[in-house]
Amino acid sequence: MKLRRFLPSLIAVAVLVPVSIWALLTLKLQSELVPLFPPHLKTVHGVQLSMSVLSSAQEVMLLLTPPAATGDLADRLERELKQWPAVEAVSEVGRPRLEPLVEMIAWGLANLPPETFAEFQSLYAPANLSNRLAQTESQLAGVLDGRDLFLLRFDPLQILPWLQSQPQAALPLPDLANVSETPPFILLKVRARQPLRGFEQCQEFIAHLRQIVDAVVPASMRPAVYITGQPAFVAENSSQMKGDITIMVVLAVGLTWLLLWVFYRSQAALLWMTVVLALALLAGAVAARLLFGELNVISIGFASILIGLGSDYCILVYHFHTQHDPALDREAAWRTVRRSIWLSATTTSLAFGALYFSSFPGMQQLVVLIAAGLLATAFFATTLLAEILRHTKPVAPQWLTHASDWLAAFETRRARWIVGVVAGLALAAVLVWPVARHYRFYEPDFDRLQPATSEAYQGLRELLKATQAHPTLEVMVTGRDLPELRARAARVLPSALLAPQSDFITANRQQWRSGHQADVRAALETAGFETEWGAATLRLLDELDRWAAGKSDFASARLFLSNVAESPTGGPMALLRVPVTNDLASAWAEVSAHEPSALSASWRLMMEDLQHRVLTDARRLSLWMLVAVVAVSWWARRSWRPVALNGLALVLTFGGLLAILWLTREVMTLQSLLTLPVLLAVAVEYSLYMQLGLHAHAGDTRLAFRHLTVPVLLMGLTTIIGFGAPVATKQPMLKNFGMVMAWGTFAAMMTGLVVIPACELFRRNHPHHSETLYRARWFEWGAWLAPRLGWSGARRLGRWLGELYRLTHPQTADAVRSNLAAVKPAPVDEALVRQAFRNYGATLADYFLLGTRPRTEVLDMVEPPVGLEHFQEICGPGQAAVIVTAHLGLFELGSLFTADLKPPPLVLSLPEPSVALGRWRAAYRQRWGAETLEVGDDQFSFVKITRELAKGRSVALLADRPSDTNRVWVDFPHGAMPFSTGPVWLSLLSGCPILAVTTVRLPSGRYRMEAHPPLAPKWLNGSREETVEHYTRQLAAIFRKAICEYPDQWYQFVPLSRSR
Amino acid sequence: MVSICAALAFTLTARGEVLSAAETDAFITAFNAKQGATQTYQAELTQQLQLRGLKRPAESRGQLFYRAPAELLLRYDQPAGEFLLLKDADVWFKKTDRPLVHRHQVAGGANPGKSLLMLFRDDPDGVRRQFNVTVARTNSTLQVTLTPKEKDPHMRLVAIENVVREADLEVLSVRTIFEGQNQITYEFTNPRRNAPLDAALFAPPPQEPLR
């Protein structure tokens, strides 16, 4: 084991582990939700303010509905709750309990403006008392309404109507007319002594509260008791999430483990992957500690994305090391795998990195976690894991290879068909779009996200139903001092009572004159009311007297009805509840028009605002994400082709997702929008792997698929498992997230595995020549024009047309460039590429001209041939040879020298694109005495050729453009090129020697032909393949020398080379 | 509770001869037939409200108008200008110095005048389903007492006592007794049945801001 190879990763581990321990020890875990939202949003700021100082964050509601809505049960619960030290106070709504009601009214009165309070006090002057009671008596006649009667009996002096008619005096009193001894519900408001801010605090408080409820309420009645309110929601959601995360982790790890075992039958695979992913998570934690100092638990939860994506790299590395194909250039293949992983990590990190500039602090944390983690995974997977696997040499089951080969064969055979199907589907999608566009793929309705089994949610619904309450909008108003606060609050809600207002309380306490009770009693007696009618009034006066005497401070009412507090920045602030008549948004628009400084404290409005923000951010950032994807895709091969293919992968993935959503009638929720950048990364990742793999294996589809099919399939399946696991949870939000991600990944996987390779292969199977120019008609025109222009004119025109062809066919130029890269050091001189095209044009001009000239004139254009003796030596009567040449110079000129052979040789040619062209070219060769035999790449052709050889007829063929299956890679100075094994096989099977012929044009314009010493292959010891490979390399060496000497005459327009 | 029982005992002892079940059925059938045949009805009305702790009952006067199948108007002269209109499931009422109130009744909900409309429109089975019916004969009148079979937490109704003249089954008074010694009594004089009534009487009043 070479320690040197392990050194970089070991150093990294040695640094990372202690630093991450420090980071984990000092990292502050945050469990609140609101800090994840953009703080500059007014709605977020409003909610944050209201939560920081006002009561709702520490108030839990206990709703008793029939049959549990009994006074006895409520009293016992109240007693028990008050004994719990964590509870500061309990308030009850639902029963006509005089004491709390009177205290609430007295608290409201104490906070009145002093002049209004003075008016209130004047109501108890004897004359006023008589008048008001007479008015009450008159109201008992005529139309009778039970509600009015109840209120008159409770408040015969009609203090409450007077109070509610005063500006800034509206008390949030319960509907007194609807309370009864057997109420439809009883609501106990439980106020915690400390604010319940974090998940854990809420969970602990609610759990203890539930214990008390269970101890007091009989089991049969417990379903009628609901615990609700903000802390109950927080506790329920967080504990639900804890359970859900456990389910998700167990399911994801279990299924992934099972999957890896099914594929590789190796537990070591998962072990090493776990180690790498753990290191990646530590790296993410270090980055978060350095950048933020804290992490939210929700960001940590979503960091499972990192595990999903990171394990992909490990699978790629692991699978590579299970491949032991002798035909594989391991170093080159490893370079490709490593490059793919780093490209993918960079693309995904950049795509996610764009989200750093979103408005959400939570998103920024997530981005840093994932980006740092992914880059760390890429590093450890390509160093530590690779080195470990290099030594452990894992083995993949044979069936994986068979399955990959089958898919490779299917893709090769059906590439055109697959592309056609995809095009058809795209067309169908366009046709269906006018119908499908009306479907709501995205549904922001928050009610969909509420779990049906949520007790807190059910409790809230029951409460709204029982109280028939109208919705209200919570608004925060701030001011530098109390007068400013009052002015602003009055503009928002003129009737709102602000409490406590210390200056008013002080003034009112001073002006209150005790002892109005005797006057009230006398007035009641006089007016014909017994004293019981004035019970509440007298109790109110007692309470105010006690307050004036300093014996009462309205402790309970103060806790539950206070809506004014000191803001964190100094100065008072108030929470107002504005009735909503139409909808929340229009109510808020009205409020902000009246008081621009007001802040909404409504969760619903905040969530709607966040939703708009998410969409705005998505629009803004998706552009940057796409730029990142385009840049990296281009950089991968310095070509726009991968960019286009990745674009296609994205379109198909998102199109596929939308189609599945439409067909299954599912929708995406706000949280599911998070999947879009992840899906973008996944789609590009799979597409890039397949493209780079196919490119690196230079068209060897079988080898490329052996390397990529299983990893991409596994990556897809593990991602589906990882992200699909939330479907098993109880949270609608998580279920939807999992469902969208699973379907999206499925679409991305199918696109990467099936469509992208088909597009690549479709291009390769596509003729390498121009379908417009490579036609018999152009050849006829060329043959007609060339003699008219003469040598010089025809060559000049040919060069110019060659140049034009290069400019108009960049893909062909790319092919020439990549092939020349095997001959010349990179980057290939563009002048050389240009010269190759110019020479090709001039050679074509010669080709057309030579065909029209008599043989003697043609021979004048050729230098005396070299190696003619080899022809004479091996091509005697009855003796045949396999004459081999390459796409170098005017290779057709070889026919001139074989024309003397008896019988004339057969020039082997692949079928031309049209019969007319085939005939034209055959006739052209016939003029020089050579016959043409069109053959395919099949065994029948092979038999046919060997028969001709056996008859003593030589055959001529090209060897440097082999098929995918019959070839050998031959080293060139800066790469490798494939050469056909066909000539050697023919020679070995027929016993005919091989004669290599090269034809190049000299600077003088004349051609030099050379017949090289013949090769006579014999079966060697070892396998047949080894013999074929040996002689093919010998044969290729001849052409390699000529190609390297005349690279600008090598007309190889198909990308074949493999970089080193 | 003791006071409620005492009141009931007093009421029952004052009733006189209680009709047998068969006689009660016969009375109900005959009464329903008369009420069912009534397309319009109008009478002078005296309303008396007695509440616990209120030394003097509150008295009001006015007219009652009914039109089949479910329209009823109480128009008060004292206090003047107040009215109550029931029309199917809607109720409008106006009190002096108060805005007009319009409510859409829900089934089982408590609304002013409901017990009066019940006199005319409820089917016999409906009354029997909800109430135990007792009929007692006193001189020339029948005292029909309806006691609810189930306690209604909103209405808190104890009983409805109707006094009917035996000769022509004309309703003389309706007394609704609630828990807590509270009761409302309506007395009718000069009844006229099936005389033409101006349809405008039952027209919904012009809209005012909801209360």
Please report which confidence band the pLDDT of residue B172 belongs to, taking 50, 70 and 90 as the band edges: very high
B78 Cα to chain A: minimum distance (Å): 7
Amino acid A543 reads E
H helix runs in A549-602, sequence order: 555-561, 584-594
Question: Does B184 reach chain A within 8 Å, measured CB to CB?
Answer: yes
B78 touches chain A (CB under 8 A): yes
* Chain A residues with CB-CB distance to B49 below 8 A: 140-141, 144
* A45-104 residue pLDDT tens: 888 777 765 556 688 888 888 888 888 888 899 999 989 999 988 887 767 677 888 888
Give chain B positions within 8 Å (CB) of A181: 153
d(CA A761, CA A704): 12
Q: Does B55 touch chain A (CB under 8 A)?
A: yes
Could you tell me if A180 lies within 8 Å of chain B, comparing CB atoms?
yes
**B202–chain A Cβ distance below 8 A for any pair:** no
Task: Please give the structure tokens belonging to residue A844.
Answer: 């074509």
Render pLDDT for A291-325 as a digit per residue (tens, 0 to 9). Answer: 888 877 667 766 666 777 788 888 889 888 887 76
**Residues on chain A touching B156 (C-beta within 8 angstroms):** 180
| Residue A700: pLDDT band with limits 50, 70, 90 | low
Q: Which of B46, B50, B51, B82 to mutate to test binding with chain A, by most A CBs within 10 Å of its CB?
A: B51
* Spatial distance between the Cα atoms of A546 and A686, rounded to a whole number of angstroms: 77
**Residues in A 1005-1044 with any Cβ partner in B closer than 8 A:** none
Distance from CA of A79 to the nearest CA of B (A): 26
List of chain B residues whose C-beta atoms are within 8 Å of the C-beta of residue A138: 79, 96
CA distance A189 to A81: 10
Q: What is the DSSP letter of A36?
A: G
Q: What is the reported pLDDT for B1?
A: 36
Question: How distant is the Cα of A75 from the closest Cα of chain B, in angstroms?
Answer: 20
Tokens representing B60 are 């009001």
Look up residue A313 and give its amino acid: Y
Domain B16-202, what architecture? Clam (2.50)
Contact A601, A49 (CB under 8 A): yes
Within 8 A of A140 by CB-CB distance, chain B residues are: 49, 51, 54, 58
User: Given this model, what pLDDT does residue A765 score?
Assistant: 55
Closest chain B residue to A530, measured at CA: B53
Q: What integer is the mean pLDDT of A823-838?
A: 89
Q: What is the DSSP letter of A27?
A: P
A937-952 confidence digits (pLDDT tens): 555 677 788 888 888 8
Chosen from B96, B103, B114 to mutate, greatest number of chain A CBs within 10 A: B96
Q: Nearest Cα to B60, choosing from B158, B185, B182?
A: B185
H or E, element range at A269: helix A267-291
Across chain B, mean pLDDT equals 82
The mean pLDDT value for B160-169 works out to: 92
A717 vs A352 pLDDT, higher one: A717
Cα separation, A366 vs A371, whole angstroms: 8
Burial class (CB in 10 A: 0-12, 13-18, 19+), A492: buried
Domain coordinates in residue numbering, chain B? 16-202
A868: left (phi over 0), alpha (psi -120 to 50) or beta: alpha
pLDDT, residue A176, reads: 59
Q: Considering only CB atoms, which chain A residues are within 8 Å of B75? A: none
What's the CA gap between A524 and A513, in Å, rounded?
20
Rounded to an integer, what distance in angstroms lies between the CA atom of residue A818 and that of residue A699? Answer: 13
Q: Is A162 touching B (CB cutoff 8 A)?
A: no
Hey, what long-range contacts does A784-787 have (CB within 8 A, 24 or more apart)? A785/A848, A786/A845, A786/A848, A786/A849, A786/A852, A787/A849, A787/A852, A787/A853
CB < 8 Å to A144, chain B: 47, 49, 112, 184
Share of chain A above pLDDT 70, in %: 90
Q: Count interface pairs A-B at CB distance under 8 A.
A: 68
Residue-level pLDDT at A568: 78
CB atoms within 10 A of CB A1000: 21
The reply to whether B49 touches chain A by the CB within 8 Å rule is yes
d(CA A627, CA A867): 59
Give the contacts of A449 (CB within 8 A, at least 6 positions apart). A669, A670, A671, A731, A732, A733, A736
Q: What is the pLDDT of residue B2?
A: 35
Query: Which amino acid type is present at position A860?
Result: D
Residue A206 binned pLDDT confidence (cut-offs 50, 70, 90): very high
Q: Rounded to whole angstroms, what are the CA distances from A737 to A517, A549, A671, A743?
A: 65, 61, 7, 10
Q: Tell me, what's the pLDDT at B4?
A: 40
CB contact under 8 A, A144 and B47: yes
- pLDDT at residue A286, as a whole number: 92
Whether the Cβ atoms of residue A972 and residue A823 lie closer than 8 Å to each other: yes
CA of B61: which chain A residue's CA is closest?
A: A142
**What are φ and ψ of residue A472, in 5° steps?**
-125, 160
| Span A888-907, pLDDT tens digits | 998 888 776 676 667 778 88
Interface of B with A in 159-178 (CB under 8 A): none
> What token pair was written down for A186?
């009883």
Neighbouring-strand partners of residue A327: none
Q: Which of A136, A139, A143, A530 is the best residue to mutate to test the B interface, defined by the most B CB atoms within 10 Å of its own CB?
A: A143
pLDDT at A1015 over 80: yes
The whole-angstrom distance between B43's CA and the closest CA on chain A is: 16
Rounded CA-CA distance A836/A817 in Å is: 10
Disruptive mutation site among A136, A144, A530 for chain B (greatest number of B CBs within 10 Å): A144
pLDDT for res A1035: 93
For residue A193, what are its two tokens? 């002594």
- For residue B144, the distance in angstroms to the closest alpha carbon of chain A comes to 23
Residue of B nearest to A179 (CA): B154
B209 CB within 8 Å of a chain A CB: no
How large is the ipTM? 0.86
Q: Which of A139, A143, A146 is facing B84, going by the closest CB pair?
A: A143
Region A1039-1057 average pLDDT: 89
- Cβ-based contacts of B47 with chain A (< 8 Å): 141, 144
Mean pLDDT score of chain A, rounded to an integer?
83
Contact call for A145 and B74, based on CB within 8 A: no
Tokens (6 digits) for A1041: 């020398």
Q: Which two tokens stand for residue A457?
A: 């949610």
Partner B contacted by A3 (CB < 8 A) = no
Q: What is the pLDDT of residue A48?
A: 78
How far, in Å, are A192, A431, B129 from residue B8 at the CA level? 49, 80, 21
Best interface-test mutation with A: which of B1, B3, B54 has the largest number of A CBs within 10 A? B54
pLDDT digits (tens, 9 = 90+) for A173-197: 655 555 555 567 788 889 888 877 6
Contact A14/B at CB under 8 A: no
